[in-house]
A and B are shown apart, each in its own frame.
Chain A
Amino acid sequence: MPDPIVLLLAAALLFALALLIFHPRKGIFIRLRAGRAAAQREKMEDILKFILDRQQEGRFTSNEALIDVLSIHPNELLRVRKTMEAQGLVRVEGGTLALTATGQQLALQIARAHRLWERYLATEARLPLQKIHREAHRMEHRISQSEVNALDAALGYPLFDPHGDPIPNRAGELPAKELGKPLTEWEAGTPGRIIQFEDEPPLAYEQILAEGLKLGQTLRVIEATPERYVLTDGENEYRLAPAVAANVFLVPSPKAAIHGGDVFPLASLDDDQPAEVVNIDESCQGFTRRRFLDLGLTPGTIIYPELNNFFGDPRAYRVRGTLIALRRDQAGMIQVRRLEPE
């Protein structure tokens, strides 16, 4: 006769194991099943978004493109496509896939979730731009419609994502967008504001970011040769290969034309040198921008670097009678013009 305690323990263990597998909400079994369903839905959503992207570029989507770019197994694609056709999301027209009205609406909503997430990750969570696409891609499948709307509201209804792509609104309408010219066609010497980065291919995009270029930044082309493009924002120089430069889109920047050359970032202002705020860089958005404004860093405000510390960063500036410490990279986002000391 075995020890009753051992028996009891064994029974408890068995029960726990059974619970782990068959628990109606948290069990392994149900999770596996839910996981498979979710994976299928993710695939469908990826396909919808891909077709939408192609459609906006005026291109058709073939089965081959899907198999190639989304790396779906042909058999699986066949199965998923059938489901999608049955749900009335896509129709097949002579070898190419097209979105139905319902499919288009759904695709726009997924793009909306994706771009809002990117916006959130870039401006509020301050994740590096290289990382936001993957993270947003993960989230776009998990977030509910009402959560997307809440996110939209919390971000103050932004019109564009951090790459400059338009964000569809609740009704699926896209905001009107200025058409940028690629940097390679931009006239040397004229100031232009960066309005969009093409984030494909990733390698070129990473080079753009590695150079430190930001959306909303105002630049001039100072050298354009078949080997390289050299740009300047008045302080720093940026070098890009022509293939990479073609992925940067600019629009004319009237503001910069007025400012002329004496406007520079606050971070480069000498200690104890009074200056006047010209504007906050367009690349500074979201919470940080609002905080700057609330502190009174509005155009025309007089600012004065008063304290410097051992590390040289941050510095404390006198703004409207109060000392405010700003880190170097933040002070780089505020454009100022030198004032003559009284």
Chain B
Amino acid sequence: MSVLTNENLTPQDILAKAQKLRPQLGDAFRDEIVTSLYGEAERIAQRAVHTTKDKRWDFDQRIDRIVTSPVWGLPIMLLLLAAVFWITIVGANIPSQMLATALFWLEDKASGLFTAWGIPWWITGFLWHGIYRGLAWVVSVMLPPMAIFFPLFTILEDLGYLPRVAFNLDFLFKKAGAHGKQALTMAMGFGCNAAGVVATRVIDSPRERLIAILTNNFVPCNGRFPTLIMLATVFVAASFSPVAASFVAAGSVLAVVLIGVFFTLLVSWVLSRTLLKGEASAFTLELPPYRRPNIGRIVYTSLIDRTIFVLWRAVLMAAPAGAVIWVLGNIYVNGNSLAIYIANFLNPFGVLLGLDGVILLAYIIAIPANEIVVPTMLMVYTGTGMMIDLPGLDGLRTLLIGQHGWTLLTAINLMLFSLLHNPCATTIATIYKETKSAKWATVSVIITLGLAFLVTFLTASFARLIGWA
């Protein structure tokens, strides 16, 4: 060893020395480090671990053979997803009705009381028919499905099923030039797209991470599920017998989700051939052993952390939205309310897409949070003079079909539009934060919105062409 003292040794000397030694070691020395580490680990583990039973195939492995099997893997996946939707739809139906009845009863009584006390009509209207009604709609439409869907999904997550889904679908992502873990980030997107965007950090390749970020919105998040469920139940499933209706509704929600997966793959494929050129990168996916989910903890966390959190956000957005709609609906110019003017202005474009002006207006008002689209829409419809006599889904049907001329095409296109349209403000902000680029945040909006317009326009034109609508 050379005699070196602190005075004449600098960090640079050490770096220079390392640089000199490095080529002598050759490229293989990293391999050797890891090989010797694992060799040591193997020796220690062999001394410390003893097998008492000889079970070559344990229970986990047998389950894995089934859920990833070439024959059963994909059907089981679809069946599980459908089951989650079905339980959500069936379970949420009655609580939703009850909540709606109770909350609107309160609105009636309270506004009646306000009127009786001689409080000016516009205060009563603004508070009760504006802000409160927005809240009531959000709570009754959103709370029950969320409170059921979140825990169910978390059980699948804690069980360790999601990596198996990624394993089953990886081939498609590879073909699309994307990362296999994109399936995991999509699964997170079911909960919340902003969370899905954050989850893309598991993807190492920057190119594939961007693809996953830009396409995450094609997974309908929890805020959009109630919209889909409501539409599926009210329109698509309505013509079936009550027994079959819930299955049809679950099936149509599943179909929408699959369309979302299709667009995810399509857009990923296009992106990896245009804006984000490149081959699928190497990746490794660990399939962790199954773990028994802790049901108590899941129910607690998904109710407190997730449901209440998302609901609170929706409530914060719904109250001002309710106020805005009430104001728009109650300022009259030349005999018509502002809401009517805007809706009429947007109507030609809306009709072109198989929707109408009110729906577009609702989407514009609901940009901060997708959750409030349906409540906003209903408030514009009802706020412009029509009150619903029957709360709940039957009331909705009467209102939309009977009074506003909705058709099956409107419902289907609204579902497609809801699936494809731009991410909510929170998600856009998250994309900006994660990519540190206004450009990619903008691109995410352009892609989704453009696709939403295009697809709804095409379906509407097609339906009109063959005489459906």
Contacts A170-B19, A310-B73 hold; do A295 and B284 have CB atoms under 8 A apart?
yes
Binds B, one of A79-87, A200-208, A234-242, A284-292: A284-292
> Shortest CB–CB separation between residue B119 and chain A, in angstroms?
43
B23 within 8 Å of A (CB atoms): yes
A293 and B279 alpha carbons, distance in the complex (Å): 22
> Shortest CB–CB separation between residue B463 and chain A, in angstroms?
34
B13 within 8 Å of A (CB atoms): no
Q: Which residues of B contact A322 (CB under 8 A)?
A: 286-288
> Shortest CB–CB separation between residue B58 and chain A, in angstroms?
12
B22 within 8 Å of A (CB atoms): yes
B30–A157 CB distance below 8 A = no
**Which of the residues A285, A298, A310 comes within 8 Å of B34, measured between beta carbons?**
A298
Q: Which residues of A contact B42 (CB under 8 A)?
A: 320
A309–B168 CB distance below 8 A = yes
A325–B180 CB distance below 8 A = yes
Q: Which residues of A contact B206 (CB under 8 A)?
A: 125
**Which of the residues B19, B34, B172 comes within 8 Å of A169, measured between beta carbons?**
B19
B27 within 8 Å of A (CB atoms): yes
A28 within 8 Å of B (CB atoms): no
A316–B38 CB distance below 8 A = no
Contacts A169-B19, A313-B170 hold; do A325 and B35 have CB atoms under 8 A apart?
no
A309–B70 CB distance below 8 A = yes
Q: Please report which residues of chain B, range 197-227, place their CB below 8 angstroms from some CB of chain A when the two chains form the complex.
A: 204-207
Q: Which residues of A contact B27 (CB under 8 A)?
A: 158-159, 285
Q: How large is the interface on A (under 10, 10 to 19, 20 to 34, 35 or more residues)?
A: 35 or more
Chain A residue with minimal CB distance to B26? A159
Interface string of A116-155 (1 = CB under 8 A from B): 0000000001111001000000000000000000000000
Contacts A169-B19, A316-B68 hold; do A126 and B278 have CB atoms under 8 A apart?
yes
A212 within 8 Å of B (CB atoms): no
Q: Which residues of A contact B288 (CB under 8 A)?
A: 322-323
A228 and B259 alpha carbons, distance in the complex (Å): 50
B73–A309 CB distance below 8 A = yes
Q: Please report which residues of chain A, range 164-179, place their CB below 8 angstroms from some CB of chain B when the two chains form the complex.
A: 169-170, 175-176
> Shortest CB–CB separation between residue A324 and chain B, in angstroms?
6
> Shortest CB–CB separation between residue B272 and chain A, in angstroms?
11
> Shortest CB–CB separation between residue B391 and chain A, in angstroms?
46
Interface string of A276-310 (1 = CB under 8 A from B): 00001000010111111111101101000011111
A298 and B28 alpha carbons, distance in the complex (Å): 12
A292 and B284 alpha carbons, distance in the complex (Å): 8
Chain A residue with minimal CB distance to B163? A325
A175–B284 CB distance below 8 A = no
Choose among B172, B281, B284 the residue with the greatest number of A CB atoms under 10 Å from its CB.
B284
Please report the total number of B residues contacting A with Cβ < 8 Å. Answer: 44
B38–A291 CB distance below 8 A = no
B287–A327 CB distance below 8 A = no
**Which of the residues A169, A307, A312, A326 comes within 8 Å of B284, measured between beta carbons?**
A326
A326 and B180 alpha carbons, distance in the complex (Å): 10
A253 within 8 Å of B (CB atoms): no
Choose among B27, B73, B74 the residue with the greatest number of A CB atoms under 10 Å from its CB.
B27
A126–B287 CB distance below 8 A = no
A307–B287 CB distance below 8 A = yes
A311 within 8 Å of B (CB atoms): yes
> Shortest CB–CB separation between residue A140 and chain B, in angstroms?
20
A39 and B30 alpha carbons, distance in the complex (Å): 41
Interface string of B343-385 (1 = CB under 8 A from A): 0000000000000000000000000000000000000000000
A125–B207 CB distance below 8 A = yes
A232 within 8 Å of B (CB atoms): no
> Shortest CB–CB separation between residue A293 and chain B, in angstroms?
4
A310–B31 CB distance below 8 A = no
B180–A314 CB distance below 8 A = yes
Chain A residue with minimal CB distance to B56? A342
Q: Which residues of B contact A105 (CB under 8 A)?
A: none
**Which of the residues B31, B171, B207 comes within 8 Å of A309, measured between beta carbons?**
B171
> Shortest CB–CB separation between residue A179 and chain B, in angstroms?
17
A178 and B285 alpha carbons, distance in the complex (Å): 37
A126 and B276 alpha carbons, distance in the complex (Å): 12
Q: Which residues of A contact B31 (CB under 8 A)?
A: 280, 289, 293, 298
> Shortest CB–CB separation between residue B143 and chain A, in angstroms?
38
A288 and B282 alpha carbons, distance in the complex (Å): 6
A290 and B38 alpha carbons, distance in the complex (Å): 14
Contacts A313-B170, A313-B171, A316-B68 hold; do A159 and B282 have CB atoms under 8 A apart?
no
B30–A325 CB distance below 8 A = no
Q: Which residues of B contact A4 (CB under 8 A)?
A: none
A49 and B53 alpha carbons, distance in the complex (Å): 67
B283 within 8 Å of A (CB atoms): yes
A330 within 8 Å of B (CB atoms): yes
> Shortest CB–CB separation between residue A334 and chain B, in angstroms?
11
B282–A327 CB distance below 8 A = yes
> Shortest CB–CB separation between residue A192 and chain B, in angstroms?
18
A308 and B205 alpha carbons, distance in the complex (Å): 25
B68–A309 CB distance below 8 A = yes
Q: Which residues of A contact B34 (CB under 8 A)?
A: 293-294, 298
A95 within 8 Å of B (CB atoms): no
> Shortest CB–CB separation between residue B187 and chain A, in angstroms?
16
Contacts A159-B27, A325-B287 hold; do A306 and B61 have CB atoms under 8 A apart?
yes
B287–A157 CB distance below 8 A = no
> Shortest CB–CB separation between residue A209 and chain B, in angstroms?
13
Q: Which residues of B contact A58 (CB under 8 A)?
A: none
Q: Which residues of B contact A323 (CB under 8 A)?
A: 64, 286-288
B65 within 8 Å of A (CB atoms): yes
Q: Which residues of A contact B22 (CB under 8 A)?
A: 157
A156 and B73 alpha carbons, distance in the complex (Å): 41
A126–B282 CB distance below 8 A = yes
B170–A327 CB distance below 8 A = yes
B68–A313 CB distance below 8 A = no
Q: Which residues of A contact B39 (CB under 8 A)?
A: 298
* In the complex, the 10 A-B pairs of residues with the closest C-beta atoms, listed nearest first: A311-B171, A323-B287, A288-B282, A293-B34, A325-B285, A298-B35, A126-B281, A310-B70, A307-B68, A298-B38
24 A-B pairs, CB-CB below 8 angstroms?
Answer: A125-B278, A157-B19, A285-B27, A287-B282, A288-B282, A291-B284, A293-B30, A298-B31, A298-B35, A298-B38, A298-B39, A308-B70, A309-B68, A309-B70, A309-B170, A314-B171, A316-B287, A323-B64, A324-B287, A325-B166, A325-B180, A326-B284, A329-B282, A330-B283
Other A-B contacts than A126-B282, A309-B171, A310-B73, 6 sampled, CB-CB below 8 A, are: A293-B34, A294-B34, A307-B68, A309-B170, A320-B38, A327-B282
Interface residues in chain B, defined as those with a beta carbon under 8 Å from any beta carbon in chain A: 19, 22-23, 27, 30-31, 34-35, 38-39, 42, 61, 64-65, 68-71, 73-74, 166-168, 170-172, 174, 180, 204-207, 277-288
Interface residues in chain A, defined as those with a beta carbon under 8 Å from any beta carbon in chain B: 125-128, 131, 156-159, 169-170, 175-176, 280, 285, 287-296, 298-299, 301, 306-314, 316, 320, 322-327, 329-330
